[in-house]
Amino acid sequence: MKILLLGSGGREHALAWKISKSLLCSQLYIAPGNAGTAMCGQNIAIADNDIASIKQFILEKNIDMLVVGPEQALVDGIYDAVKTDTGTQHVLVIGPSKAGAQLEGSKDYAKEFMQEYHIPTAAYRTFTADEYEQAVAFLHTMQAPYVLKADGLAAGKGVIITDNIHQAETELHAMFMENKFGTSGHKVVIEQYLKGIELSVFVLTDGNSYLILPSAKDYKRIGEGDTGLNTGGMGSVSPVPFADEEFMQKVEERIIKPTIQGLQHRDIIYHGFLFIGLMNVNGDPYVIEYNVRMGDPETESVMPRINNDLVELFLHTAHGSLHQDTINISNQCVASIMLVSGGYPEKYEKGKIITRCEEVVDSQIFHAGTRRNEQGELLTAGGRVMTITTMADTLEKALAISNKNAETVQFDKKYYRKDIGLDVCK
């Protein structure tokens, strides 16, 4: 099978690495990819949200399967665009329809969906820009910390959490009146703050049957001890020790099953990954958000633990026959530490030469923001540069090896958190 994978992050390198191990994959293309994906297949210079060019490439190369890594193309309707065109409708697409992608594309849609299907989540209300006064009045009925969410995609930056009511009002004003997140912020969800520990649960579904993939914990803040600015993710571990059988049973019964039933009830075509961001509140799971794709850097810790042939699972997902599969998860533990460019998530420099990757032993490097120059040298090309991913008998061992190798790899202004996973090892 000829497969086209969209995206260019560490998630896509981990997916490409796993896809390229499948005997069912004869050729893998990645658009646009990075220096890591280029080791698993052929990178193509097409943006991952350029639907017209992607369709043209599918026709040119006779692609059999399209795997969509990031959310933008899904929210823009790439599934429908491929499936409603007689030239490309035979192509298997891993990713939900545009209707399904609303679970990530609109926070208000996701909240309303959860409310209808009685899925536990924070209490909320949604306001539009012409309801600024009502929104402020509602804020005053809430307790700190205040949680504001721009309705649409905002490159992961659309959530504001603050203890200060005046700042909450200022942020609301900025979203409604000053276009802080463009049209994404013209509708805002204000919700109750949930106190607990977060984890990421991943499901692969054909819209009827589903497989629960390994869970992971993501470390979002830039600083050690979960301090400082939010980032795309500074590291991840899998499994998550507190997500034991009892907890996961609650997740499946209270969240996964009603979510799938909701999709069925709404006649939503969904052949792909569903990422459920959860808060464990005193042993009970609450949904913080849905994403309609895998997480990054969770994928880097999840893929190594899946023993199944991923392409075979994708085939069954696209054909609606996932009921015949069982997931085979390794008992080993995986830790991924993200190396980032100094300054990230604010201003940082690119184009730094990366060295000593060849000295990394016992870990896998998943590239994120990397590229090669004409001389073949590896360069940084983004804020998040690569994960150092290690699989071992225990999380402690995996972390120790990842930390050692994170120290080995060199580039100017390299930064990484040395405390990834320590909280769950206690």
Q: Which does 147 bind (CB under 5 to 8 A by kind): ligand GLY, ligand AMP, none?
A: ligand AMP
Closest CA to 69 of 136, 138, 122, 16: 16
Q: Token match 């600083």: residue? A: 223
Indicate the residue type of 94: I
Q: Among 35, 168, 194, 256, which residue sits at the site for ligand AMP (rule: CB under 6 A)? A: 194
298 counts as binding ligand GLY under rule CB under 6 A: yes
Q: Which does 198 bind (CB under 5 to 8 A by kind): ligand GLY, ligand AMP, none?
A: ligand AMP
300 counts as binding ligand GLY under rule CB under 6 A: no
Distance CA(278)–CA(139), nearest Å, equals 23
With contact defined as beta carbons under 8 Å apart, do 77 and 98 qualify?
yes
> Closest separation between CB of residue 236 and ligand GLY, Å?
7
325 counts as binding ligand GLY under rule CB under 6 A: no
DSSP string, 112-143: HHHHHTT--B--EEEEEGGGHHHHHHHHHHSP
Choose the binding region for ligand AMP from 22-30, 53-61, 193-201, 370-378 (rule: CB under 6 A).
193-201
DSSP-assigned beta bridge partners for residue 146 = 162
With contact defined as beta carbons under 8 Å apart, do 161 and 193 qualify?
yes
With contact defined as beta carbons under 8 Å apart, do 10 and 296 qualify?
yes
Q: Which does 196 bind (CB under 5 to 8 A by kind): ligand GLY, ligand AMP, none?
A: none
Q: Which does 295 bind (CB under 5 to 8 A by kind): ligand AMP, ligand GLY, none?
A: ligand GLY
With contact defined as beta carbons under 8 Å apart, do 275 and 198 qualify?
no
Distance CA(95)–CA(84), nearest Å, equals 15
Distance CA(204)–CA(67), nearest Å, equals 13
> Closest separation between CB of residue 98 and ligand AMP, Å?
20
407 counts as binding ligand AMP under rule CB under 6 A: no
Binding mask 262-291 for ligand AMP (x = CB under 6 A): ---------------x----------xx--
Residue nearest ligand GLY (C-beta atom): 295
Residue 63 vs 255, nearer CB to ligand GLY: 255
* Pairing assessment for the beta strands 227-230 and 210-212 based on DSSP bridges: unpaired
Q: In Å, how far are 86, 306, 390, 419 from 424, measured between CA atoms?
A: 50, 21, 16, 10
48 counts as binding ligand GLY under rule CB under 6 A: no
| Lookup: tokens for 319 | 């054909």
| Torsion on CA atoms 26, 52, 97, 159, rounded to nearest 10 | 110
Q: Which does 61 bind (CB under 5 to 8 A by kind): ligand GLY, ligand AMP, none?
A: none
> Closest separation between CB of residue 371 and ligand AMP, Å?
27
Binding mask 209-228 for ligand GLY (x = CB under 6 A): ---------x----------
Binding mask 257-296 for ligand GLY (x = CB under 6 A): ----------------------------------x---xx
DSSP H or E stretch at residue 298: helix 298-302
Distance CA(244)–CA(225), nearest Å, equals 24
159 counts as binding ligand AMP under rule CB under 6 A: yes
Q: Where along the sequence are the contacts to ligand GLY (CB under 6 A)?
A: 218, 233, 291, 295-296, 298
Q: Where along the sequence are the contacts to ligand AMP (CB under 6 A)?
A: 122, 147, 156, 159, 161, 191, 193-194, 198, 220, 277, 288-289
